[in-house]
Amino acid sequence: MTATAEPPADAAVIARPTGRGLFETSLAMPGGNIVADEPVDVGGGGAGPTPYELLSAALAACTAMTMRLYAERRGWTLPPFSVTVAHTVVPGGPRRDLFDRRLVFEAPLEPERRVKMLEIADKCPVHRSLERGADIATDFAMPPAPDPAALASPAGHEQAMEEACAD
Q: What is the pLDDT of residue 59?
A: 98
Query: For 24-35, how does the pLDDT look when each residue is reduced to its tens digit (9 = 90+)?
Result: 999 999 889 999
Per-residue pLDDT for 87 more than 90? yes
Task: Provide the 8-state DSSP code for 82.
Answer: E
**Considering all CA atoms of the chain, what is the largest pairwise distance in Å, rounded to the nearest integer?**
78
pLDDT band at 60 (very low <50, low <70, confident <90, very high): very high
**Does the pTM exceed 0.75?**
yes
Q: Is there a domain that residue 155 lies in?
A: no
Same domain, 68 and 2: no
Q: What total of structural domains would you count in the chain? A: 2
Query: For 7-25, how does the pLDDT look when each residue is reduced to its tens digit (9 = 90+)?
Result: 556 668 999 999 999 999 9
Q: What is the pLDDT of residue 105?
A: 97
What is the SS3 assignment for 72?
Answer: helix
Same domain, 39 and 62: no
Q: Is there a domain that residue 108 lies in?
A: yes
Same domain, 116 and 79: yes
Domain residues for the domain of 69 are 50-134
Same domain, 76 and 34: no
Q: Is there a domain that residue 146 lies in?
A: no
Angstrom distances, CA of residue 5 to CA of 9, 129, 140:
12, 29, 21
Per-residue pLDDT for 67 more than 90? yes
Q: Is there a domain that residue 88 lies in?
A: yes
Q: What are phi and psi of 30, to 5 degrees?
A: -55, 130
Q: Is there a domain that residue 162 lies in?
A: no
